[in-house]
Amino acid sequence: MLAGKHILLIIGGGIAAFKSLDLIRRLRERGAEVTPVITRAGQEFVTPLSASGLAARKVYTELFDLTEEAEMGHIELSRSADLVVVAPATADLLGKMAGGLANDLASTLLMATDKRVLVAPAMNVRMWEHPACQRNVATLKDDGVLFVGPNEGAMACGEFGPGRMSEPLEIVAGIEAALADGPLKGKHILVTSGPTHEPIDPVRYIANRSSGAQGTAIASALAGLGADVTFVTGPADVAPPSGVNVIPVQSAQDMLAAVNAALPADGAVFAAAVADWRVASASDSKIKKDTKGSLPVLEFAENPDILKTVSQMGKTRPKLVVGFAAETDDVIANATAKRARKGCDWIIANDVSPETGIMGGSENAVTLISDAGAEDWPRMSKDQVARQLALRISDALS
């Protein structure tokens, strides 16, 4: 799938740089050409010789190197690639990118390129969570930079949390999605997914059993067809797909704000299992057990209906709005009524009665309800449902 593609791989200075050597190998196995650029700090972790050996190409390290300028200037180097990949993307490199600094070869290439940039961050968990880093990440996402990871796990520094660089094959999947020259290239599609968590107090919340599997598969299939996907996800069990712009949220209200911020879009798929109600006045401090034994009473408020809000928007309404209807009784009748009530174009209806094993399972049996009527799809894997739906969306948007 990457045959003939040219990747400019910037290797930053982090312990994860050793994985970037494997990344070069994996990309070349798939037919890509890789030109490595190693920052000065990166060279403390991997040598230009090993990167050059694996890439079977010259490795670039210095901005002011006359030989290199004579062979290929930094502007040309930044534009001859199909995609610029930064792995590991350190806090320093992300900061330079967000701030528009260009004081070495890597940062100058990143400023000069006219190609998409995909980054695989790697840093200590505290650095990743630092407000300065999160501000930079938000700026870069706004600029259209694609993120793969970071993953959560044990780190070389002994701490635990998000900050580990994604594995080479995850980065390859992100690169393949970014370079997919599919029928949805140039289309922006928004996908909501997962459950929402509605706080009761700082330690307790109300949630539902959605795993996020179907929404994740849909986002991945759309990206596979070349769409530029914004993936707004509640706290799901499954990891978000590579090659999409992930916006993590907690509550229904957060999800609506993230959806509004992501618009305009050509299409929108609302696969999230949004909580219909939230606790009216969630407590700022942990609710303590009453020593006299009286029980707390929770009062609920209605959450915004995100699908309905977007379906009924004026100018900013995406051309195609797709909702889901998870039902346990009278599936088609309820879903048809839901489609009319919400004002979306299509509803994907499914029976989530416990005996179907669909909620939390790997298969789904859905009916597509549109102006044309109800179309039953055979029971198939959630990945297959996602691929079929992505193809239908692609037909509708082209």
Report the nearest approach of ligand CTP to the CB of residue 371 (Å): 18
Residue 142: CB minimum distance to ligand CTP, A: 24
Q: Which is nearer to ligand CTP, 74 or 342 (CB)?
A: 342
- Neighbouring-strand partners of residue 161: 153
Q: Candidates 129-137, 155-163, 322-330, 378-386: pick the segment binding ligand CTP (CB under 6 A).
A: 322-330
Interior angle at CA 193, CA 217 and CA 183, nearest 5: 45
Q: Would you say 272 or 390 has its CB closer to ligand CTP?
A: 272
Q: Judged by CB under 6 A, does residue 307 bind ligand CTP?
A: yes
* Of residues 152 and 375, the one with the C-beta less far from ligand CTP: 375
Give the residue from 30, 349, 43 showing the smallest Cα distance to 214: 349
Which is catalytic among the residues 157, 203, 333, 340? 157
Answer for the pair 246, 236: CB distance below 8 angstroms, yes or no. Answer: no
Q: Considering only the stretches 49-57, 59-67, 243-251, 318-326, report the one whose residues sit in contact with ligand CTP under the rule CB under 6 A.
A: 318-326
Task: Give the shortest CB-70-to-ligand CTP separation in angstroms.
Answer: 57
Q: How far is the CB of 362 from ligand CTP (least distance, A)?
A: 20
**Binding-site member from 45, 147, 205, 324 for ligand CTP (CB under 6 A):** 324
What is the crossing angle of helices 213-224 and 168-179, to 10°? 50
Q: What 8-state DSSP symbol labels residue 361? A: S
Binding mask 130-169 toward ligand CTP (x if CB under 6 A, else -) reads: ----------------------------------------
Among 76, 152, 159, 276, binds ligand CTP (CB under 6 A): 276
Residue 270 contacts ligand CTP per CB under 6 A? yes
Helix (H) or strand (E) holding 348: strand 346-351
Tell me which stretch binds ligand CTP (CB under 6 A): 25-33, 145-153, 291-299, 323-331: 323-331
Which is nearer to ligand CTP, 101 or 263 (by Cβ)?
Answer: 263
Closer residue to ligand CTP in complex, CB, 192/230: 192
- At closest approach, how far in Å is the CB of 340 from ligand CTP? 12
Give the span between the Cα atoms of 136 and 127, in whole angstroms: 12
Sign of the dihedral defined by the CA atoms of residues 250, 384, 230, 351, in that order: negative
Our finding on whether 305 is near ligand CTP (CB under 6 A) is yes
Distances (CA, A) of 140 to 7, 280, 339: 20, 35, 36
Q: How far is the CB of 321 from ligand CTP (least distance, A)?
A: 9
Instruction: Transcribe 66-119 into DSSP letters.
Output: HHHHHH--HHHHHHSSSEEEEEEE-HHHHHHHHHT---SHHHHHHHH--SEEEE
- Residue closest to 300 by CA, chosen among 198, 196, 168, 167: 198
Provide the token pair at 208: 């539902």
Q: Is 252 in the site for ligand CTP (CB under 6 A)?
A: yes
Of these, 81, 148, 247, 272, which contacts ligand CTP (CB under 6 A)?
A: 272
303 binds ligand CTP (CB under 6 A): yes
Verify binding: residue 306, ligand CTP, rule CB under 6 A. yes
Local structure of 188: helix, strand or coil: strand
157 is catalytic: yes
Cα→Cα distances 300→175, 204, 234, 276, 332, Å: 44, 15, 20, 10, 29
Transcribe 107-146 into DSSP letters.
Answer: HHHHHH--SEEEEEE---HHHHHSHHHHHHHHHHHHTT-E
If the CB atoms of residues 18 and 277 are measured against ligand CTP, the closer one turns out to be 277
| DSSP code, position 268 | E
Catalytic residues: 157
Q: Which residues bind ligand CTP (CB under 6 A)?
A: 192, 252, 270, 272, 274, 276, 303, 305-307, 323-326, 338
